[in-house]
Amino acid sequence: MVESESQCTSQMRLLIDQISIQQGKIVALEEAKKLQDEEYVHLKALVQDLEKKGLQSLLNHLEVPVAAVVIMACNRPDYLQRTVQSVLKYQTSVASKFPLFVSQDGTNPDVKNVALSFKQITYLQHLDFTPVHTERPGELIAYYKIARHYKWALDELFIKHNFNRVIILEDDMEIAPDFFNYFEATASILDSDKTIMAVSSWNDNGQVQFVHDPKTLYRSDFFPGLGWMLSKSIWDELSPKWPKAYWDDWIRLKEIHGERQFIRPEVCRTYNFGEHGSSMGQFFKQYLEPIKLNDVHVDWRTMDLSYLTEDKFVRHFAKLVADAKPVHGGPDAVLKAHNIDGDVRIQYRDQADFEQIARGFGIFEEWKDGIPRTAYKGVVVFRHQTSRRIYLVGPDSLKLLGLEDA
């Protein structure tokens, strides 16, 4: 009997111990579940946060840039520093739309150090030690090296980096506050109007005494350069036949630009401060130093630029010319224009006649391949005495504008 009770007690204790163990396991499992639940909530929040950041990052990468911006540099570190600081002043807020590059030709260590000192810049370096053979005696080798550098840099940006558009700046330029806004607004015209070869921020006759309205844009048969945007389709055409030297004058040849034109502003969106360079300061004092750099904010996004399309612009410009009062040219053309209120148009007979009239007013006299600087259909327009426009009209201009009877 005693043995039976002892066995029963032993079994009872064993059962109690097992229940205690199971209860301990339950408590442990409940604790583990609680920790797992907390960990789940934490991990879920972490995943959601990562997904949000990942999606934002993806969206950021999915935003197609308007254009890459490349500053072409060689051996002027102080100029490059000034240019980069001017560009970053307005580029930082639109960096995803306008990624910034510096392309250096050669190995100048100070230029490289300046470029690498800015974290916002992607640095490119063109190294080409192939000897340069000029085609004519006395030519500067620099113009050949510049042409090589341009081709390499644009191939890098359009082909290797696959940008749709590129804006080219030089290392001696400052930009206007609305520089990027201007190029963003004109990008769609560059894409859709195949009669536009490039968009420029420059007006050769943009000296302070010849400009008035920062909102006015023109089409031109003359390639302005000096801060300009082109598209990949145009580069695909130009790259295989790119010249050995003098690339800008090459683009100005009719056989290269054909019937296509260039958009340019009345008031420049770039200022060229490079008195010392490959052009040896040519024209600097007379033509570059007095350039008016736009200093007012123009919200190009709100402006209707459809008047710049080929069919509309020819009618728009023809009306402006037709409404101007005709004045006979000659040595006293400036005096005659001075004494007439409102816009004036002056006919020129040929290049020599144009040069004489242009010299009287102080605008650019130069022609390239039969086209005066800034001209549209042979017409060169500039402001005189603030807001008045002067139109220098070529022998065929009225016919080209459909104004034979004007």
Residues assigned a catalytic role: 248
Instruction: Encode 17-85 in three state secondary structure.
Output: HHHHHHHHHHHHHHHHHHHHHHHHHHHHHHHHHHHHHHHHHHHHHHCCCCCEEEEEECCCHHHHHHHHH
Distance CA 151, CA 250 (A): 13
User: Which residue bears the tokens 């583990």?
Assistant: 32
Strands lying side by side in the sheet with 228-231: 121-126, 100-105, 68-73, 165-170, 228-231, 196-200, 261-265, 217-220
* Contact status, residue 111 vs residue 75, Cβ threshold 8 Å: yes
Distance CA 162, CA 49 (A): 32
Distance CA 190, CA 369 (A): 24
Any alpha helices (H) in 164-295, and if so which ranges?
179-192, 232-238, 247-251, 254-257
